[in-house]
Chain A
Amino acid sequence: MSMLEAATAVRELTLAQAIREALAEEMRRDPRVFILGEDIAEAGHPFKVLSGLVEEFGAKRVLDTPISEAGFTGIAVGAAMTGMRPVIDIMFGDFIGLTMDQMVNQAAKIHYMSGGKWKAPLVMRTTLGATRRSAAQHSQSLHAWFCHIPGLKVVMPSTPYDAKGLLKSAIRDENPVVFFEDKMMYRLKGPVPDEEYTIPLGVADIKREGSDVTIIATSSMVQVALGAATLLEESGISAEVVDPRTLWPLDEKTLIESAKKTSRVIVVDEGYGRYGVTAELASVIQEGAFFDLEAPVKRMGAMHVPIPFSPPLEDVTVPTEQTVADAARALCGAS
């Protein structure tokens, strides 16, 4: 079978459909799984990611909550500790500030503080990503906050295929897992097989093989990195794109191996650079591949400003295919 035939044989889903399918499959498989959040039942969530779920599973398993992020996150922690498998929906990633005590002091710590006696297997789904013209309180990428906390896992899918397989694993995980979805990618289509599958947390994926430079990219930045790799190919530079897929657990080995292979690394993540995910990943590379590097690791992320509203302002705050390609050329001495 040719590659073209293989590709056409697999159906395509949007990222939103893949997430909905993962939730529906897990809710059919395990009656303990339920969803809590704002406007998620009949409304199906403002991004329509959850459309149809309340019709199949009923209002006892797809619950509209009051606008009380701290409260329903806390209820999810207690429900998770006592036998349920909550999936909570935080409409915008910017709202996680309201949930921080419940996630950081309660969910993340109960297993350790109780000497391993209690556990809190819950999933928080939320969003990241700018360029939707939504201004400073609906556009941030704050996943680094959770990466800092022992006891939490952080998942960053970049394709419909990964989103489905990773979400199913997150729901089955025994720990609190935060699952970030790029709100600009909900309509992105990609192949998702009919048959059931899961993707383990903690396994990176090489999205494109290359030999001259490694672009480590997360979530929204994976598509940007792939676009940059196409531009670089036109300049005769072969870029490898590596997607960690989960920030914790982190597949350090795959990142380091790619860095050793290409000897040049760019890390691209839509969060803030300062004290952020790119800082951590760059540190992993220099600790693991220092003597194989031809150049310092280059970091690219959101500018250190609140995300502005006006389009010409907002557009310069995040990396693009062009800026990533330019950085790669500079790193390869080809600018």
Chain B
Amino acid sequence: MSIEPAVPVALIVEDEPQIRRFVRMALEGEGWQVHQSETLKRGLIDSGTRTPDLIILDLGLPDGDGLRLIRDVRTWSPVPIIVLSARIDEADKITALDAGADDYLTKPFGIGELLARVRAALRRQHKAGGDASARIAFGGVEVDLNKRTVQRDGEPVHLTPTEYKLLSVLIANLGRVVTAPQLLREVWGPSNADNGHYVRIYMGHLRQKLEDDPAQPRHLLTETAVGYRLQP
């Protein structure tokens, strides 16, 4: 999975040793070299000196807000950042994602989830560097970005311009959560920030057209109170 010949480097910024431990074990199992920082201060230094290929960041650090690290790193690097946070802090998650974090995990989280997020973040980054594939497939759905056609089980599906636009934003962020405010901005324009229900209605349309069971979607997933994710 690595582009560089060297072993990929991950940085974990987390104050809780047991959480650090199992995240490290999981990443090492996937072939990562893992560095650990216990504090925000240490994390700020390590993110510069270790040049990590991935940062796993706890938002609630004892010596400061993890948000600072995201903003700091984003001034010089597009390295994927995955944020760990508690369930009730949806607003914090949105802030972190809008500040440049790539994804988030709600505590408690499983290792499967963690690794899936890591893979998605890396894939996205590599794609941004290399050639973007014009054909995307998930479930029985196939989208040709060049021809702007959508097929489901080989049958063409008609999407309205808005639905297609919404889908294309999700495809551009494949596997990664996109916040509802970001979707509103990109699909409806900056003046519609208060119309959160637009996104929900159009996601409903997309699910009706693309999912087998719209009430139990497998690809067009809702991250409650945060945003949406297109799961390949």
Binding between chains A and B: no
CB within 8 Å of B: which residues of A? Answer: none
